[in-house]
Amino acid sequence: MNTGSKILASLSENAALPSTVSVDDDSIIFMCSSFHAMTGEMITGTYLKIAICLNGGGIVKYGKLSWRWKQGEVLITAPHESGTFSSPDVKMLGIAIDTERFCHFCPPENQIYRSNVVEDEMITSVILALWQCVQNEAKCSKFIHEGVAIILKRIVELSVNTFKTRQELCLSHRQINCLDNYIKKQVKNDIKTEQLADLLGMGIRRFSKALENSTGLTPYKYLLKMKMGEAKQLLSKGFPVTHVAGKMGYSNPSKFSAAFSRMVGCTPTHWKNMQKVHSHKHLSDVHALPVQRIN
């Protein structure tokens, strides 16, 4: 099954009453539908996916990157984007374009596509016009191709500008590792953004921007993510929630549970119980495996 077919199959499986139109042997796919919040593996291949939030929206996560996607804004998913994603409840109008098929509109040396959320009137207007065209079943292949060319060139412009900004303010892997090691050692303490900035010899504002460009998270959210990651390890080893809360610097276990729930999506107790279930299931699956005997 090619990528275009996989995208169509995924839309049919996850969308509520999807309206889809495929053009030029699935090299251009239009879709309008509502989706419930979900997580999964990204399917892109050579396709560039662009979606307008018509209603709903919220936090979108691609690996370590995250954005707030609001009504009227455009979510851009770059070709060959891989890994896991999570998306909110949303009604959207989208288009998927096979960049390999339409590379004559934007030569490979100019194909700099980066995932992002933007508010762009040009992209929104063109997609709405193309959707109206295909909905009316008009013979408008030339119009569609011209619209695709405008979209590709515009997204390259936006991607180049974003890349330049992020390149100027970005943390290296060495700096990220330095932060992680420091946070793990000081996880019980109330770590301030100023301390992290000082650690890297940066001002607070510049550090905060560089960290967000590199990870998609603000200093507060990055600290919380690191703390809850350490908390998960202790919970998985069987330590009581109150003990883990203290190790993370929380004198009040209720506040720890609230912070854990915001970051992980469930309470520490529920998460701990789920780990026990998964562990027991794994053991039972192992014991159920057939034994191959060699005479």
Cβ atoms within 10 Å, residue 34: 15
Among 278, 165, 253, 249, residue whose Cα is nearest residue 213: 165
d(CA 206, CA 214): 12
Residue 18 · residue 33 · CB < 8 Å: yes
Where is pLDDT greater, at 155 or 284? 155
Strand partners, 32: 19, 93
The candidate with the shortest Cα–Cα distance to 91, out of 55, 124, 67, 65, is 55
Element housing 54 (H / E): strand 47-56
Would you state the pLDDT for residue 195?
Answer: 94
> Which of the 8 DSSP states describes residue 44?
-
- Report, as an integer, the average pLDDT of 178-203: 93
The arithmetic mean of pLDDT across residues 208-228, rounded, is 88
pLDDT band at 104 (very low <50, low <70, confident <90, very high): low
Give the span between the Cα atoms of 105 and 124, in whole angstroms.
19
Could you tell me which residues are beta bridge partners of residue 87? 38
Q: Is the pTM of this model over 0.75?
A: no
Contact 100, 78 (CB under 8 A): no
Burial class (CB in 10 A: 0-12, 13-18, 19+), 14: middle
Tens digit of each residue's pLDDT (9 = 90 or more) over 227-280:
999 999 999 888 999 999 999 999 999 999 999 988 888 899 988 888 776 555
CA distance 161 to 79: 18
Dump pLDDT digits (tens) for 28-53. Answer: 999 999 988 999 888 878 899 999 99
pLDDT of residue 10 exceeding 80? no
